[in-house]
């Protein structure tokens, strides 16, 4: 009888805590948007991709600067490898280096590197071609590593705020691709000299970086941001002080045997404040003495009890790995969805898409398709909030899987060379637009939703773990892209595909007739 009373009391406390958490979540989502903070996060998402997008968008300049090298492929490989290194290093040092310090360091590094390449190579051309080529690739490597550190830091930073601010970072990311594409088109149209146009383009990017850094500092100093970071810091301190137990304590289970609380909207198992305080529980704000921490309590359904596990003193690294594993167990559906969606995009864009040829548009078609993709990606992100309300997590697993159909369709826009099956330019435009919209719609929720399912003191770590999951699509997407190009020989020569007439040289015979050589 006494045991039944304890169980009823535990369930009542759990229901009360659950209602309190739901009320706080509702208040968080209905809280008016802080325009200054939202704009600072928008600029944050815009900032870290600006340097690397600017360098790759100026590929027309680098093709002329280093004519005998596959500069774009080299940049792509180096960028992916160094991004992986940056993400891993940030994840390893997240507990050791303050968040603000990491972000400011990245801003200084990105701005300095952009200034270096602009002044030494574009403006003054201080080095011979071979040395300049090595230095350019070195700058791309360092920029990619700094960009990865800043990006993963910003996701952790945004995850400590309400969900809409993570969405602001994602919108800023997508806007960056569109803005840099439009800036490059504008400088190419306005300035005929490639070197001068690239110089103006790079200085504009550096100015944009400075504006983004100022926006970050303004947002970081706001009371709204301080309050949310303070809340997460207090949760972390509470976890460190009370989250570890010196002996095994039996606590009554607040659930019937085999009973599970499932979030109907998301499809995720939800252990929120039902008294079990089990591993993988949703974030709690430290209300009440029963608010346990992830991984410290395990439910023993067979015996109807919940035990607080004794953990002997462990090394710092074991504790950090354990925290990452507990977060991963909760958010792994989002990680899988993000990996599938991003991996498909990396496979096709921009490498394979840039191989699509249209004779009337010529070299403008890749620029148009990249700009269209970035615009549709941004549109998809802006429409994702309404889609998210109607979709369960399973939709974010099914959707990216269905996007695999883009691979054969895009290949049919290229093959057979000269007469592709989907050769009309409308096909490439429609497919690129759809690929951008679906990438945007299916890419926001896997990043912005996970913080709701972890404890407050793990919210920054949750953002870093989500970005860590991007390593897999970066590697797989790049490998698949190169394999598809090699297997199907997707690389096309525009002169052969369009049967262009190229005057290699003119031969004037005695009758005054000029002969034109064809290739």
Output the pLDDT for position 368: 84
Reply yes or no on whether the pLDDT at 499 is more than 70: no
Which helix (H) or strand (E) is 159 found in, with range? helix 129-159
How far is CA 464 from each of CA 130, 336, 460, rounded to the nearest angstrom?
38, 15, 7
Q: For the beta carbon of residue 409, count every other beta carbon within 10 angstroms.
A: 17
Reply yes or no on whether the pLDDT at 141 is more than 90: yes
What angle do the packed helices 459-468 and 425-448 form, to 10 degrees? 150
How far is CA 505 from each of CA 87, 184, 501, rounded to the nearest angstrom?
52, 33, 12
Select, from the ranges 85-94, 102-111, 456-465, 503-512, the one with the highest average predicted confidence (pLDDT). 102-111
Taking the C-alpha atoms of residue 382 and residue 257, their distance in angstroms, rounded to an integer, is: 43
How far is CA 17 from each of CA 11, 264, 285, 291, rounded to the nearest angstrom?
10, 19, 10, 8
Select, from the ranges 38-52, 271-285, 355-369, the one with the highest average predicted confidence (pLDDT). 38-52
Reported confidence tier of residue 304, pLDDT bands at 50, 70, 90: very low
Output the pLDDT for position 491: 62
Reply yes or no on whether the pLDDT at 270 is more than 80: no
Reply yes or no on whether the pLDDT at 213 is more than 50: yes
């Amino acid at each position: 009888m006494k045991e039944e009373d304890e169980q009823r009391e535990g369930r009542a406390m759990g229901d009360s805590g659950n209602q309190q958490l739901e009320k706080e979540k509702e208040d968080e989502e209905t809280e008016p948007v802080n325009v200054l903070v939202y704009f600072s996060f928008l600029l944050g998402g815009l900032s870290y991709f600006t340097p690397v997008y600017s360098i790759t968008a100026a590929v027309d300049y680098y093709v002329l600067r280093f004519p005998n090298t596959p500069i774009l492929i080299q940049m792509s490989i180096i960028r992916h490898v160094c991004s992986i290194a940056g993400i891993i290093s940030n994840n390893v040092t997240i507990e050791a280096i303050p968040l603000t310090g990491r972000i400011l360091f990245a801003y200084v590094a990105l701005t300095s590197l952009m200034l270096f390449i602009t002044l030494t190579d574009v403006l003054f051309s201080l080095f011979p071609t071979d040395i300049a080529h090595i230095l350019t690739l070195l700058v791309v490597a360092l920029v990619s590593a700094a960009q990865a550190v800043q990006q993963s830091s910003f996701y952790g930073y945004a995850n400590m705020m309400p969900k809409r601010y993570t969405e602001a970072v994602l919108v800023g990311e997508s806007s960056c691709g569109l803005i840099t594409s439009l800036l490059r088109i504008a400088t190419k149209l306005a300035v005929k000299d490639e070197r001068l146009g690239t110089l103006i383009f790079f200085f504009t990017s550096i100015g944009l970086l400075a504006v983004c850094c100022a926006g970050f500092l303004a947002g970081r100093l706001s009371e709204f941001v301080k309050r949310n970071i303070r809340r997460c810091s207090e949760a972390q301190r509470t976890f460190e002080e009370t989250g570890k137990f010196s002996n095994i304590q039996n606590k009554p289970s607040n659930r019937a045997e085999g009973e599970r609380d499932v979030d109907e909207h998301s499809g995720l198992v939800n252990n929120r404040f039902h008294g079990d305080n089990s591993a993988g529980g949703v974030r709690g704000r430290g209300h009440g003495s029963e608010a346990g921490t992830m991984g410290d309590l395990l439910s023993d359904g067979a015996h109807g009890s919940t035990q607080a596990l004794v953990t002997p003193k462990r090394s710092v690294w074991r504790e950090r790995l354990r925290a990452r594993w507990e977060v991963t167990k909760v958010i792994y559906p989002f990680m899988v969805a993000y990996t599938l969606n991003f991996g498909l995009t990396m496979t096709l864009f921009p490498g394979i898409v840039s191989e699509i040829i249209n004779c009337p548009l010529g070299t403008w078609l890749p620029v148009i398709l990249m700009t269209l993709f970035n615009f549709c990606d941004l549109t998809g992100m802006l429409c994702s909030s309404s889609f998210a309300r109607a979709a369960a997590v399973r939709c974010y697993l099914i959707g990216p899987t269905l996007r695999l159909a883009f691979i054969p369709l895009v290949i049919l826009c290229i093959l057979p060379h000269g007469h592709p099956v989907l050769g009309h330019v409308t096909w490439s435009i429609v497919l690129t637009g759809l690929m951008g919209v679906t990438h945007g719609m299916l890419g926001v929720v896997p990043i912005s939703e996970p913080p709701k399912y972890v404890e407050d003191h793990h919210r920054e770590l949750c953002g870093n773990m989500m970005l860590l999951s991007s390593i897999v699509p970066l590697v797989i997407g790049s490998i698949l892209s190169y394999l598809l190009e090699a297997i199907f020989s997707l690389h096309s020569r525009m002169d052969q595909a369009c049967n262009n007439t190229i005057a290699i040289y003119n031969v004037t015979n005695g009758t005054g007739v000029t002969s034109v050589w064809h290739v």
